[in-house]
Amino acid sequence: MEELRLNYPVKPLGTRTRRELTVAVLGAGSRGFEYTEYGKLFPGTLRVVAVADVNAARRDRMGDRWGLPADRRFGDFHELLAAGEKGRLADILIVSLPDDLHFEPAMEAMRQGYDILLEKPMAQTEQECRALLKRQHETGVMVAVGHVLRYAPYFLALKAAIDDGLIGTLVSIQHQEPVQFAHMAHSFVRGNWRDSKATTPMIVAKCCHDLDILKWLVGRPCVRATAEGNIALFKEANAPAGAPARCTDGCPHEADCPYSAIDIYARRRWHLHVFDLNRDSPEEAILEKLRTTGYGRCVYRCDNDQPDHIVATFLFEGGVTASFTMDAFTPWGGRRTRVMGTRGYIEGDGTTFTVYDFKKGTKASWTFDPAASNYKDNGHAGGDLALVRDFLEAVDTRDFSKLSSSLDASVDSHVMGFACERSRNR
């Protein structure tokens, strides 16, 4: 089969804005830090001028990085918003707080006139999503939702290949989100997203990116969504005999358990940022966290309710169908996608996709190479910083069309997720 290369150019990061835009940050954890680093990578684009975080170490890490005075370092997010009552503290507000603290600050910040980068999920219920949209329409501020995959060069090129008709007319899509076994245990069994009621159901909390990508690739409204899924493994009934409450309590199965917290955090040294530790931290400091936080718990003895596997189907206007699976039990994360058209087929792994043409008998590939652009190796295949780039451009020019993940666009994919959850629980 003749092998070709597709040429979809990658838009570089670091586009100049007419002026440096000022940013206030609610939640200086992983996401808040990652987004604002754009201003350090590309000086003159954004500058952090205020931060709120209840965690003093994180607040000061960001405060020190940007040289903020004491009166611009806030604890609870309400304090920063109260300080903005007499006039906004910045052009932009980044809301990178936990899932249950998105709706309230976003509603208030819109009232105060901030343009907002709002982390996903935008809110915890469909009603709240619609209330956000209503307020955004009333206030006319710009809101970008953290659907970073839309900005990743790989997904942009994949969408261009479909829109350019390389596979004829789109008929159906198979999309998989492999979560990775240890990531599942870390975030959705032991960690912050384990309780669907305190955060959002898995299909929204983890998979709203994927539902959003499906809807975006198809380019038409979704008219029906269904889902199945449950907890196959992470429940009390599966606890092996003699397993104690914590891996650090001398569990007889520790050496053989793929989900051992000692293995994941202390030996492999994964996910240590939640403890504000890193790969070079002493083992004793990590073990102490496992003895004293939820991350040391036996995966069969947690207060988790998120399914570890989901199968969902979608019908879009015009008849296009999509199937989606979220799978905890995989060795890697990322995304895998197959796209079926009337004249061809696409298979992609999140970095490379290949287009097969039925009539010509050719296959043509496209690969995202961060080293060949100025993306370096940053989050979500370049999507994190590319979202910041496009958001800054949109705010700078007041051109809403530069913003792919607007609230209008993002409400739909959240609604698809809530519909799936209703279907799964019916």
Ligand X SMILES: NC(=O)c1ccc[n+]([C@@H]2O[C@H](COP(=O)([O-])OP(=O)(O)OC[C@H]3O[C@@H](n4cnc5c(N)ncnc54)[C@H](O)[C@@H]3O)[C@@H](O)[C@H]2O)c1
Note the residues at the interface with ligand X (CB under 6 A): 26-31, 52-55, 58, 76-77, 96-99, 101, 119-120, 146, 148, 380
Tell me the C-alpha distance between 339 and 346, whole Å: 5
Return the number of other C-beta atoms located less than 10 Å from residue 10's C-beta: 18
**Based on CB atoms, which residue is closest to ligand X, 163 or 276?**
276
Contact between residue 271 and residue 189 where contact means Cβ atoms under 8 Å apart: no
Contact between residue 181 and residue 259 where contact means Cβ atoms under 8 Å apart: yes
Minimum CB distance to ligand X, residue 262 (Å): 23
**Based on CB atoms, which residue is closest to ligand X, 188 or 300?**
188
Contact between residue 147 and residue 405 where contact means Cβ atoms under 8 Å apart: yes
Contact between residue 415 and residue 126 where contact means Cβ atoms under 8 Å apart: yes
Tell me the C-alpha distance between 69 and 175, whole Å: 47
Per-residue DSSP letters for 237-294?
Answer: GGPPTT--SBGGGT-TTGGG-TT-HIIIIIIS--SGGGGT--TTS-HHHHHHHHHHSG
Tell me the C-alpha distance between 71 and 64, whole Å: 13
Contact between residue 130 and residue 138 where contact means Cβ atoms under 8 Å apart: no
**Based on CB atoms, which residue is closest to ligand X, 251 or 286?**
286
**Based on CB atoms, which residue is closest to ligand X, 76 or 138?**
76
Cis-peptide, bond into residue 221, ω within 30° of zero: no
**Based on CB atoms, which residue is closest to ligand X, 112 or 365?**
112
Minimum CB distance to ligand X, residue 199 (Å): 7
Minimum CB distance to ligand X, residue 80 (Å): 8
Minimum CB distance to ligand X, residue 38 (Å): 14
**Based on CB atoms, which residue is closest to ligand X, 51 or 312?**
51
- Give the CB-nearest residue to ligand X: 29
Return the number of other C-beta atoms located less than 10 Å from residue 259's C-beta: 20
Minimum CB distance to ligand X, residue 331 (Å): 20
118 strand-pairing partners: 95, 145
Minimum CB distance to ligand X, residue 25 (Å): 9
Minimum CB distance to ligand X, residue 124 (Å): 10
**Based on CB atoms, which residue is closest to ligand X, 52 or 394?**
52
Minimum CB distance to ligand X, residue 106 (Å): 11
Structure tokens at 39: 């201003």
In terms of Cβ atoms closer than 10 Å to its own Cβ (0-12, 13-18, 19+), residue 255 is exposed
Structure tokens at 245: 């409450």
Minimum CB distance to ligand X, residue 50 (Å): 12
DSSP label at residue 145: E
Relative to beta strand 336-341, strand 170-178 is antiparallel
**Based on CB atoms, which residue is closest to ligand X, 58 or 414?**
58
Measured at the CA of 65, the angle between CA 79 and CA 391, to 5 degrees, comes to 75
**Based on CB atoms, which residue is closest to ligand X, 55 or 397?**
55
Residues in the chain, overall count: 426
Structure tokens at 343: 């004249």
Tell me the C-alpha distance between 424 and 228, whole Å: 5
Minimum CB distance to ligand X, residue 149 (Å): 8
**Based on CB atoms, which residue is closest to ligand X, 148 or 266?**
148
Minimum CB distance to ligand X, residue 266 (Å): 20
Structure tokens at 223: 């008219």
**Based on CB atoms, which residue is closest to ligand X, 45 or 410?**
410
Tell me the C-alpha distance between 404 and 150, whole Å: 7
DSSP label at residue 374: T
